[in-house]
A and B are shown apart, each in its own frame.
Chain A
């Protein structure tokens, strides 16, 4: 009787069919890999291109000694001196005022919609938020212009810009906060009620703290978004080459407005400042976005 050797036993009776891949399938596999990679490159190349260009052209400006601490007051168009701190201040103060107005209103509205809203009023509010979310920034700016400057006779100012930014920020804050509040499980609310804690206190002390970091993350992303808005600053406030600390009166620069006004400067210094301001704006926005994503890492709501 012939004894089978170990290697005989280990050898499969037939080559497993899973090991052979038909030529047509191999081709489709390759083709789709190539296509997806191509799509990825098409998406990423312009992005990297923009970034590299802005960094390369903006870097000389932002490393200059006066860039972060001086304004352009008294600097001639053809001169490479001066800085943009007046425009950085403008961008930040306009965003800050908009945030101070939009955040309480937005969070309040979201609390209403999630915790109290039932019936037609809630549905109407929700619908209005959707509409607001679709309003282009130029329309928001023109609305503020019409309502406050034309009709009420308010002067152009940074504050008017902030009001337009509020309109742009509100739907983002409301929708994000709503989402965060809905992530808070109902059983947390119920166990607070079961302790004899009234509803408003439950919202304030249990629900909101649980949704806190997610809400703040959303607010920071909203701030990052509005800081680059250009239409409101073009329509609602004049440009100034000098610092103006007063958001309620006078012209005030901001980074987008500075870039726009330097477009009219044919000198080499003009494009030097445009690229510098662009890079500065990107850096500021990135700080907010990175901050938001760091925060969201700690914002997990337990299921």
Chain B
């Protein structure tokens, strides 16, 4: 199930713009890795290269190796669609499919991959909603539109949708930034539960959140706007927040800039 990710000398470009420079890091299975750093330093960009979402942008390009359990996901013969089935993603804005019911949203991935078996779909639907801590709230309105839920419920619906296709890795890009504090706590609890089965990488601008949910924290920074972002350091979360090696990290987490 959960898989290990290694980034080796990764450089990321948007056309001629060098967005992220020379990232090396390892994410171990069944752990939560948080990316923190000032905005524009390339956290989302790095995250989106992990499931080859980056290449959907015209002119976007990645150099270096990204290994999933040792296999390069950017290998010439690797299919981006297959990579994304293995590495799921939850976005900043909750975005259920507006034409679909709650149930259809959850099983959209399976259905569109060709699974027809009604019983199996119903089982996966319930299991995923339970795993996303949403089952109790929506079990009586599975046939209602997914867009009718509250923001926090919609985001958990999107998490349920992502885990319904049984990925090995779950990427989350500021999943709580559009949510109220209570929904945020619900999602953080959920991340702690999911950790037992998935490898999770989460981008957050909220340092308390990084400290609460993650095992490992990476701090990204950039020297100046227009310069590429880079990974300053990555280490156990406890170490980063108590005794970081780099002065820049220390300044950032103590709120001296950013």
Q: What 1/0 mask marks residues of chain A from 264 to 288 whose CB sits below 8 Å from any chain B CB?
A: 0000000000000000000000000
Among residues 196 to 226 in chain A, which have CB atoms less than 8 Å away from a CB atom of chain B?
A: 196-198, 201-202, 205-206, 209-210, 212
Q: Of all chain B residues, which has the CB nearest A185? A: B95
- In-complex Cβ contact of A201 among B53, B99, B112, B147 (8 A): B112
The count of chain A contact residues (Cβ–Cβ below 8 Å) is 23
Chain A residues in 8 Å Cβ range of B53: 190, 193-194
A302 on interface, CB distance cutoff 8 Å: yes
Q: For the complex, give the distance between the alpha carbons of A185 and B98 in Å.
A: 11
Among residues 41 to 56 in chain B, which have CB atoms less than 8 Å away from a CB atom of chain A?
A: 51, 53, 56
Chain A residues in 8 Å Cβ range of B51: 194
A195 on interface, CB distance cutoff 8 Å: yes
B158 touches A196 (CB 8 A): no
Q: For the complex, give the distance between the alpha carbons of A195 and B51 in Å.
A: 10
Among residues 278 to 303 in chain A, which have CB atoms less than 8 Å away from a CB atom of chain B?
A: 301-302
Q: Of all chain B residues, which has the CB nearest A184? A: B98
B91 touches A210 (CB 8 A): no
A188-B56 contact, Cβ under 8 Å, with A194-B162, A195-B109, A196-B82: no
A19 on interface, CB distance cutoff 8 Å: no
- In-complex Cβ contact of A196 among B56, B81, B99 (8 A): B81
- Taking the closest CB of chain B, its distance from the CB of A302, in whole angstroms, is 5
Among residues 168 to 189 in chain A, which have CB atoms less than 8 Å away from a CB atom of chain B?
A: 185, 187-189
Q: What 1/0 mask marks residues of chain B from 95 to 119 whose CB sits below 8 Å from any chain A CB?
A: 1011100000000110011000000
A191 on interface, CB distance cutoff 8 Å: yes
Q: For the complex, give the distance between the alpha carbons of A201 and B84 in Å.
A: 15
Chain B residues in 8 Å Cβ range of A190: 53, 56, 89, 91
A195 touches B58 (CB 8 A): no
The count of chain B contact residues (Cβ–Cβ below 8 Å) is 26
- In-complex Cβ contact of A188 among B84, B86, B95, B162 (8 A): B95
User: Which of B98, B109, B158, B161: most chain A Cβ within 10 A?
Assistant: B98
Q: For the complex, give the distance between the alpha carbons of A212 and B99 in Å.
A: 10
Chain A residues in 8 Å Cβ range of B95: 185, 187-188, 191
A194 touches B97 (CB 8 A): no
Q: For the complex, give the distance between the alpha carbons of A189 and B93 in Å.
A: 13
Q: For the complex, give the distance between the alpha carbons of A78 and B29 in Å.
A: 91
- Taking the closest CB of chain B, its distance from the CB of A212, in whole angstroms, is 8
A209 touches B99 (CB 8 A): yes
- In-complex Cβ contact of B99 among A187, A193, A202, A210 (8 A): A210
A118 on interface, CB distance cutoff 8 Å: yes
Q: For the complex, give the distance between the alpha carbons of A301 and B84 in Å.
A: 26
Q: For the complex, give the distance between the alpha carbons of A127 and B202 in Å.
A: 44
A197-B113 contact, Cβ under 8 Å, with A191-B158, A302-B147: yes
A195-B99 contact, Cβ under 8 Å, with A118-B58, A187-B93: no
Among residues 138 to 181 in chain A, which have CB atoms less than 8 Å away from a CB atom of chain B?
A: none
A195-B147 contact, Cβ under 8 Å, with A190-B56, A301-B98: no
- In-complex Cβ contact of A197 among B86, B109, B147 (8 A): B109
B85 on interface, CB distance cutoff 8 Å: yes
A193 touches B91 (CB 8 A): no
Q: For the complex, give the distance between the alpha carbons of A192 and B85 in Å.
A: 11
B112 touches A194 (CB 8 A): no
B176 on interface, CB distance cutoff 8 Å: no
Chain A residues in 8 Å Cβ range of B108: 192, 195, 197, 206
Q: For the complex, give the distance between the alpha carbons of A151 and B109 in Å.
A: 52
B112 touches A191 (CB 8 A): no
- In-complex Cβ contact of B88 among A195, A198, A201, A302 (8 A): A195
B165 on interface, CB distance cutoff 8 Å: yes
B91 touches A196 (CB 8 A): no
B109 touches A196 (CB 8 A): yes
Extra A-B contacts (6), CB below 8 Å, given A190-B89, A196-B165: A191-B89, A194-B84, A194-B88, A209-B99, A210-B98, A210-B99
* Interface residues, chain B, with chain A CB atoms under 8 Å away: 51, 53, 56, 58, 81-82, 84-86, 88-89, 91, 93, 95, 97-99, 108-109, 112-113, 147, 158, 161-162, 165
15 of the cross-chain contacts (CB-CB < 8 Å) are A185-B95, A187-B91, A187-B93, A191-B89, A191-B95, A191-B158, A192-B108, A193-B53, A194-B51, A195-B161, A195-B162, A196-B81, A196-B85, A196-B165, A198-B81
Q: Which 10 pairs across A and B sit closest by C-beta, in order of nearness? A: A196-B85, A195-B109, A194-B89, A209-B99, A196-B84, A302-B98, A197-B112, A187-B95, A198-B81, A191-B95
